[in-house]
Amino acid sequence: MSAWSLPKLLAGLHDDIERRLAVARETFGHPGAKGVASEHVWCEMLQKYMPLRYRAETAFVVDSNGAFSDQIDIVVFDQQYSPLIFTYEGQLVIPAESVYAVFEAKQVINAMQIEYAQHKVASVRRLYRTSLPIPHAGGTFEPKALPYILGGILAFESDWKPPLGEPLIEALNKNTDGRLDLGCIAAHGTFACDPSGCFTITNQGKPATALLLELITRLQSSGTVPMIDTRAYAKWLAN
């Protein structure tokens, strides 16, 4: 009987994701079908390996002022404390207060796809979020400061040569409102942005596994979502 190996377990997670993305790209002839397949692969990975307090789905995000985001390929949101998760004709709608992170999933990255992902991330970050005082046995805590919403992009390949070089950094620096904090190009590596706005590129390794572990670390740092003011949403019942 062979011994357990943590390196092999971690590598196996990435290898499975990379293989499935490659098969989707080679098998599906229609670009839309390829896109849906890629979203499914990434979403399933996050659902399977993130702590159960989080959920990952394709969704729209709405705020209490009635403003909506663009449709987001993968929204990571609170599953434990969030009310008001709506489903309408198969479309999921999530209140802005419940969102931790948003990702676009693409077959390949290039300047156009980076810009597109930044626009999608910005459409979520600009939404209004409520935060109520938090009751406890001894009184109430002050309203929780609104956590920063992480943004990112997930892909299989890169159109650039080298895949993760200066053109990627230039594209990432063009939009601060929609800044992409994390990215995984499964065939090549990952990138990450620190709080000062500096990007770090990591080539090779096991990118999908590395992305997952870094995302979980950042989610842990953000704590719990704010206490949502459900009455702010209830005001729309009078319209």
Active site residues: 73, 104, 106
Amino acid at 53: R
Least Cα distance to 128 among 105, 102, 167, 99 occurs for: 99
Token duo for residue 218:
């950042």
d(CA 207, CA 17): 10
- Asked whether 152 and 101 are in contact (CB, 8 A), the reply is yes
Q: Which residues contact 177 (CB under 8 A, 6 or more apart)?
A: 118, 122, 125, 126
